[in-house]
Amino acid sequence: MFVVAHISDLHFNGSEHHRSRVESVLRYINSRAAGIDALIVTGDLVDRGTAAEYDEARDTLHSTLPTLITIGNHDDREHYNASFRREPGQAHANSALTLDGLQLLLVDSSIPGRPGGYIDDDDIDWLEDQLRTAEPGTPTLIAFHHPPVPVHMSYMDTIKQTGEERLARLVDRHPNIVAFLCGHIHSAAVTTFAGRPLCVAPGVSSTLNLPFEGPEVLNEGQPPGVAFHLIGDDNRIVTHFRAVMG
């Protein structure tokens, strides 16, 4: 059994409120690290993309677990790279890890200055190279920030990932892709994409209302959350969601 802890949309902004929500989730994960194999963060680490926000994120995001991060539409590549990679520049926030026979691929779906998402051709090629060079048949999870399908949240569906047909074609060439993971919508959700599960992590900083939950954008009563993805010997993914209270 392989267990991946998955968090998203932390939105560090200098406030104690947001930082305390992140710290609560990290405590929950880290106190159970003996049963978890990896931690992934699927973007929107910070709220405005400032260097100070990234310093706060870097100083708070601590875990003994192997940790992979990609960025979202609220992030800034240059400030993220300077703070987390110690390499200022516009390199895309892609990362790969194969651990105990499972391949994790995180790919940058952000578009600088725009809220929607797109995985460009170079990054599709990067995914292809990672998949091709892995041991044949290696089960693989691919993660990014923006969902590549509508999720029935009117505004978020206008800023979803586009150009998704190129991503879908990877499944035809690499049937060992087990599932896709993302964030962005601040709502735990499960659907399908390209015939594979698409699992969306809950928001850590906040939860967004569905259309029938009220006219307000934010659902103020919801605590931060985490998704746990479990992959068994049959390479089938099962996702469990946890709300973290304090």
Q: What is the pLDDT of residues 78-121, one digit of tens each?
A: 999 999 998 878 999 999 999 999 999 999 999 999 999 999 99
Amino acid letter at 240?
Answer: H
Q: What is the pLDDT of residues 18-30, one digit of tens each?
A: 999 999 999 999 9
How many CB atoms sit inside 10 A of residue 99's CB? 12
Q: How confident is the model at residue 240 (pLDDT cuts 50, 70, 90)?
A: very high
Q: In what order do the strands lie in the sheet with 114-118?
A: 110-111, 114-118, 161-162
**Beta-bridge partners for 110:** 117
Compute the radius of gyration of the chain from its Cα atoms.
Answer: 17
In terms of residue numbers, what domain contains 75? Answer: 2-243
Across the chain, what does the average pLDDT equal? 97
Total domains, the chain: 1
Residue 51 clears pLDDT 80, i.e. is over it = yes
CA 42 from centroid of its chain's CA atoms: 2
**Torsion angles phi and psi, residue 178, rounded to 5:** -85, -40
The CATH number for 206's domain is: 3.60.21.10
Report the pLDDT value the prediction gives residue 42, as an integer from 0 to 100: 98
Residue with tokens 């479990």: 230
For range 235-244, the mean pLDDT: 97
Alpha-carbon dihedral angle through residues 231, 232, 234, 238, given to the nearest 10 degrees: -50
Residue 246 clears pLDDT 80, i.e. is over it = no
Q: What is the pLDDT of residues 138-151, one digit of tens each?
A: 999 999 999 999 99
